[in-house]
Structure 1
Amino acid sequence: MSSSQPSLLPHATRELASFAAITGFADIPTEVIERIKLSLIDGLGVCLHGATLPWTQKVCELAREEGGNPLASIWGSGHRTSTTNAVLVNSTAGHAFEMDDIHKESILHPNSLAVPIALALAEADPTVTGRDIATALAVGYEVGLRVGNTATMSLFLNGFHPQGTSGTFVAAATAGKMLRLNAEQMQNALGIAGSMAAGLMASQEGAMVKRLHTGRAAQGGLLAALLAKRSFTGISDVVEAGYGGFLSSFSRTPNPSRLLEGIGEDWEAGKVGFKMYPNVTSIHAALDAMRSILTEEKLEAADIAEVHVGCGHMTFVHTAWPYRPAGVTAAQMNMYYGLSVMAHKKDVTAADYGEADIASPQLLDFMSKIKIEEDAELEASGPSLRHAARVRVRTIDGRSFAREILHRRGSPENPVKWGDIERKFNANIAGLLAPNLGRILLDSCGTLEKLANVTAINDILAATFPVTTAPVSKQPAEARR
């Protein structure tokens, strides 16, 4: 039946696979490599913090019970298991607290998908160099982000979580590059990965399973690449098939032109941004605007009579549903909660998502002052302003203040620097790693392309938290292979 439906873009999967297979480190622009290094250190920080959280611990417990050939570490646990099980846990950790990086158009968080894969395969094969890691991450990001771009926001609006669906292509291409797949094998890896895609957006309103979407996508993409290396075949036109393909099934109204245009020249991997609040990216512009009003106009929550927010359709659907205390996930995904915290604290941090905080009567009462509506002008501006927000605050004494934030802090258009990500990283590892070990990770990521191997990184990640001294590998490198 699939052959009776016209292809959305003939040979697209083959072209993506060929690009992934033949692209080398020298083909990747320096500025993209620099962004990848920033994404790597950000990814390590969020994964290490996420490893301590109860939902990650439940996945870890299951992986430990099942066992596996001890090739790769479950970070922070002191335990080794199979590469696929290690990636399942570590990537779940990466998305465990809404702090992983973000590519706006594709709606993907690539570092929580790709970083655990690259380092797990490097641990299984200590001959892997830092340049190999950088190349695999850049290529994996590029392939998956382009699939996400092509799926458009319609995939999300159809109820699917991009991280669990389009994310499998980030994972498969990263793993395939690490495993040195040729073009035919890479095409099969992508063809297998497309059938692994899964994840439903209703999970955002209060369920641990949203975190697992990343772990499963990463595990599925790695499994796809490992099988492809063994001559297992996948759907040859998985991305573009007119019936039963990834785009025709999940998106239904894709934009095929976004898949290959400018590939190798215009790098989507260089357009990844970073989260400066521990919650869904779609509310960050509104939080930035609210913070600006509060701090610059010297307002307190008690001064505010009304908050009005205008945003695009997707942000409205994604975050403006009526809030109820249904767990940490729901609080992190909800604009009413985030704005209420900002009004009272003039910031939003991880500490604001404790079990008592998310049901605070003070915060719940303030939410009645917040009105969120779709802004037709912002919506008409298209995907480039998907995160934009207009916030107006009216005070009890009748004053009115307004801010428009088109590009949130941390976006490629309003970028942060290495020092900002370093501070975020240090906050994430506080109490888990001694400062000198954090510095080793920072320095190693900062000079990634010069590293003969990444053993020092993996040895730190492999130890049991808290780690106060440099760990020593329990087995010789040759034995771990």
Structure 2
Amino acid sequence: MEIQQTLTKYISEALSHELPKETQNNTRFHLLDTLIAILTGRLLPPGRKGFEFSKNQGGPKEATLLGNDIKVSAINAGFGNGMAAHANETDDSHTNGRFHPGCAIVPGTLAIAEKQDLNCNDILKAIALGYDVGVRITTSLGYKTPKTTTFATHSLGTIFGCTASAGALLKLSHQECNYLLSYTIQQASGLACWNRDPDHIEKAFVFSGMTTRNAIYSALLAKENFTSVTDPLLGERGFHEGFAHNPKPELIVSELGKKFEIDHSSLKKWSVGSPIQSMMDAIEYLLKNNEFNHKDIKELTVEIPSDRYHIINDREIPSISAQHLIAVHLIKKTMGYEEAHDELLFNDPDVVTLRKKIKSISSDELAIARPERQSKITIILNDGKKLFYHASSVRGTPDNPMNADDITAKAKRLFAVFKSPKTDDLIDCVLNKEFTIKELVQLSNLDIK
């Protein structure tokens, strides 16, 4: 009971504690990054389907489907914006927590913030809280490798993280936060079979759409005083008993208020799957430091960590296919929104020809290497020259973090698809201003059809 009491007390008091300046800045980075993901994700099938479904469900006009001025219930706004947030593989991640925090925590936070008409300070604190809780919950379960885990940490981390954010913004009492956890535990779900999803729609549902919706639902139930059992987290037949492999309950509250997990999260420089980030870094380096073009390539070998090989090796979805993205990057000499998501490029003759020259190797050595998600690329040119790069510290990870210039450059690169002057104002507002939720929503209205 003591661990759960410590956690619920922390959630109920989170808005009264100030964040360190560095953590505030990092939270602004992750907020902007997720807005990029939501708005550009609206253009892709998961985002379009989430938007249409939420619009048709309607409900009281509490929160906005971002990119337009259409208002629906907070639950439906969280679902629709959550589906969009993971649509284009540009959302953030947390390596130790093994999930993508921003794609659920930010949509849920913004939906409740708009419902309650809250300000910048509360929004930033709630987002940071969500990362803290989500990461601690998943790490406490003691799962081994992504390849052998049946339960989806990507849904468990996000539902608990988003629940904490929503509960704090609704100003739940200590007792109500106990109810909050209990109803969240009853809705916790998700299996790793999402990895077989060919269209990225179920994947977006598992990572963020479902979990944002369920988290907001739990918070609203708790606010209405739906009572619950007293120790659902660690008690008999509770969450840990049902979900944990090698339970480490002490991690649930370890360094709460001292270590802020948003400071240890990763931003993606590239709009592609997380394990492919290092490969894009490697291609960028090789193009900048050598004189060659794609027609000069005789063969290319990419070494991929064995525990993530199954996620990205020769997949049919462009944004998570290592071979496809390597080929496109080499041909286009850039990797923006259109390069990552243009399905026509998948059958482009030049891309297909180059893709056939790419050999992948599953590497156990890279699976245990730290920092995680490293890769090695070797290119043999037609004249026999050998090019090699080992991408060991991915840009955007805690070991090699992105700064304000980096996140601004990413935003401009991906927002270019909209050709709207409002996007510069949105970037400036999130990074530099004491915004209101109304201002944030208004600047996000790009009239996306």
TM-score for both structures, normalised by structure 1 = 0.84
- In 2: Cα distance, 1:307 partner to 1:260 partner: 46
Q: Judge which range, 215-224 or 144-153, deviates more.
A: 144-153
Shift of 1:359: 2.8
1:243 to 1:407, Cα distance in 2 relative to 1, 3 A: farther
1:474 equivalent in structure 2: none
Q: Distance in 1 between matches of 2:79 and 2:410?
A: 24
CA distance in 2, matches of 1:180, 1:11: 21
Detail structure 1 runs of 4+ shifted over 6 Å in the superposition: none
Aligned: 1:102 with 2:96: no
Q: Distance in 2 between matches of 1:200 and 1:399?
A: 46
Instruction: Tell me by how many angstroms 1:276 deviates.
Output: 1.4
Q: Which residue of 2 aligns with 1:116?
A: 107
Q: Does the 8 A contact of 1:25 with 1:134 survive in 2? A: no
Instruction: Measure how far apart 1:135 and its partner are.
Output: 1.0
Question: For residue 351 of structure 1, what is the amino acid of its counterpart?
Answer: E
| Corresponding letter in the other structure for 1:419 | D
For residue 360 of structure 2, the aligned residue among 372, 377, 383 is 372
CA–CA separation in structure 2 for the residues paired with 1:98 and 1:107: 15
From 322, 327, 330, the counterpart of 1:343: 330
* Structure 1 residues 23 and 51: alpha-carbon distance in aligned structure 2, compared to 1, 3 A threshold: same
Secondary structure of 2:221's aligned partner: helix
Matches within 5 A, 1:296-335: 296-320=289-313, 322-323=314-315, 325=316, 330-335=317-322
Q: Give per-residue Cα distances to partners, 1:169-223, cap 9 Å, x unaligned.
A: 1110110111011222223212222332334444445122212221111111111
SS at match of 1:97: coil
- SS of structure 2 residue aligned to 1:163: helix
Query: What residue number does 1:294 align with?
Result: 287
Match of 1:389 in 2: 375
Distance 2:438 2:151 in 1: 37
Helix, strand or coil at the partner of 1:231:
coil
Alignment counterpart, residue 132 of structure 2, candidates 134, 142, 147: 142
For structure 2, which runs of at least 5 residues remain unmatched after alignment? Answer: none
Gaps of 5+ in 1: 1-9, 467-481
RMSD: 2.6
Cα distance per residue 1:114-150 (max 9 Å; x no partner): 2222222222222x22111111111111101222333
Indicate which of 216, 226, 231 corresponds to 1:222: 216
In structure 2, relative to structure 1, the CA distance for the partners of 1:229 and 1:52 (3 Å cut) is same
Aligned partners of 1:165 and 1:105: how far apart in 2? 13
Match of 1:460 among 434, 443, 447: 443
Equivalent residues of 2:143, 2:245 under 8 A apart:
no
Please name the residue that 1:154 is paired with: 144
Change (3 A) 1:368 1:195: farther
Q: Distance in 2 between matches of 1:59 and 1:123?
A: 19
Q: 1:17 to 1:298 in 2, by over 3 A?
A: farther
1:226 CA drift (Å) = 0.9
Q: How many residues align?
A: 444
Are the aligned partners of 1:378 and 1:385 in contact in 2 as well (CA < 8 Å)?
no
Residue 166 of structure 1 deviates from its aligned partner by 1.9
Asked if 2 retains the 8 angstrom alpha-carbon contact of 1:153 and 1:314, the reply is no
Answer yes or no: is the 8 Å Cα contact 2:63–2:114 preserved in 1. yes
Q: In structure 2, what is the equivalent of residue 359 of structure 1?
A: 347
2:112 matched to 1:131? Answer: no
State the AA in 1 paired with 2:104.
L
CA deviation string 1:404-425 (max 9, x = no partner): 2222111121122212212322
- Give the % identical residues: 23
Deviations 1:251-284 (A, max 9, x none): 5245545433322212212112211111111111
**Alpha-carbon distance between aligned partners in 2 of 1:252 and 1:138, rounded to the nearest angstrom:** 27
Report the Cα offset of residue 240 of structure 1: 4.0
Quote how far apart the aligned CAs of 1:31 are. Answer: 0.9
The one-character-per-residue Cα deviations of 1:333-388 (angstroms, maximum 9, x if unpaired) are: 2222222222322332221222211233433333333233333333333xx42211
C-alpha distance in 2 between matches for 1:463 and 1:362: 34
In 1: Cα distance, 2:354 partner to 2:103 partner: 34
Q: Call closer, same or farther: CA 1:139–1:357 in 2, change over 3 Å.
A: same
Q: Structure 2: how far apart are the matches of 1:272 and 1:28?
A: 16
Shift of 1:244: 5.4
User: Please, which of 397, 410, 433 is the counterpart of residue 396 of structure 2?
Assistant: 410
Give SS of 1:154's match: coil
1:168 aligns with 159
Q: Is contact 2:105–2:158 with CA below 8 Å preserved after alignment?
A: no
Question: 171-180 vs 62-71, which deviates more?
Answer: 62-71
- The Cα of 1:431 is off from its aligned counterpart by 5.8
Cα distance in 1, alignment partners of residues 448 and 154 from structure 2: 28
The 10-residue stretch of structure 1 (439-448 or 78-87) with the greater mean CA deviation from structure 2 = 439-448
* Structure 1 range deviating more: 147-156 or 411-420: 147-156
Q: Which amino acid aligns with 2:431?
A: G
